[in-house]
């Protein structure tokens, strides 16, 4: 099973700042890495797929990068609605689609 680790566990920032979230895989997932956002009481929402492609309707301030084992989600200019929990997920291991433990972005 591919294990994903995310860092930091919590990121405390102010609106307008830049957020940089990391996801590391226990072995290469090529670029088969997605990012999801989840707000309290809501279902997760797909933000980024295949490492760097924004999903439909996702603002340009969200960007993804990386390949192999190291990936980054960047939120360039935090809006109030961006404070949430972010999860990465790999789809390299077919039908063993593991998630990372999440990074909470909260207001400083």
Partner 1 sequence: EVQLVESGGGLVQPGRSLRLSCEASGFSFNDYTMHWVRQAPGKGLEWVSGISWNSGSIGYADSVKGRFIISRDNAKNSLYLHINSLKVEDTAFYYCAKDIPLDSWGQGTLVTVSS
- Residue closer to partner 1 by CB (options 17, 54) is 54
The residues, any chain, with a CB within 8 Å of residue 59's CB and separated by 6 or more, are none
Using DSSP bridges, classify how beta strands 103-107 and 10-13 pair: parallel, antiparallel or unpaired: parallel
Residues 36 and 50 sit within 8 Å (Cβ to Cβ): no
97: contact with partner 1 by CB under 8 A: yes
Rounded to 5°, angle at Cα 69 from 66 and 73: 40
Q: Which of 77, 104, 73, 64 is nearest to 17 (CA)?
A: 77
Q: Is 62 in the site for partner 1 (CB under 8 A)?
A: no
Q: How far is the CB of 87 from partner 1 (least distance, A)?
A: 5
Report the phi/psi class of residue 29: left, alpha or beta, with left for phi > 0 and alpha for psi in -120 to 50.
alpha
CB of 107 to partner 1, least distance (A): 19
The site map against partner 1 for 9-48 (x = CB under 8 A) is -------------------------x-x-x---xxxxx--
Minimum distance between the CB of residue 39 and partner 1, rounded to whole angstroms?
12
- Contacts with partner 1 by CB under 8 A lie at 1, 34, 36, 38, 42-46, 49-50, 55-56, 87, 89, 91, 94-102
């Amino acid at each position: 099973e591919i294990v994903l680790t995310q860092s930091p566990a919590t990121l405390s920032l102010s609106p307008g700042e830049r957020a940089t979230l990391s996801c590391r895989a226990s072995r290469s997932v090529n670029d088969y890495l997605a990012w999801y956002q989840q707000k309290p009481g809501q279902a997760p929402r797909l933000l980024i797929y295949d490492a760097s492609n924004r999903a439909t309707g996702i603002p340009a301030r969200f960007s993804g990068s990386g390949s192999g084992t190291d990936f980054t989600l960047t939120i360039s200019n935090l809006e109030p609605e961006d404070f949430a929990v972010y999860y990465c997920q790999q789809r390299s291991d077919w039908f063993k689609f593991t998630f990372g433990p999440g990074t909470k972005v909260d207001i400083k």
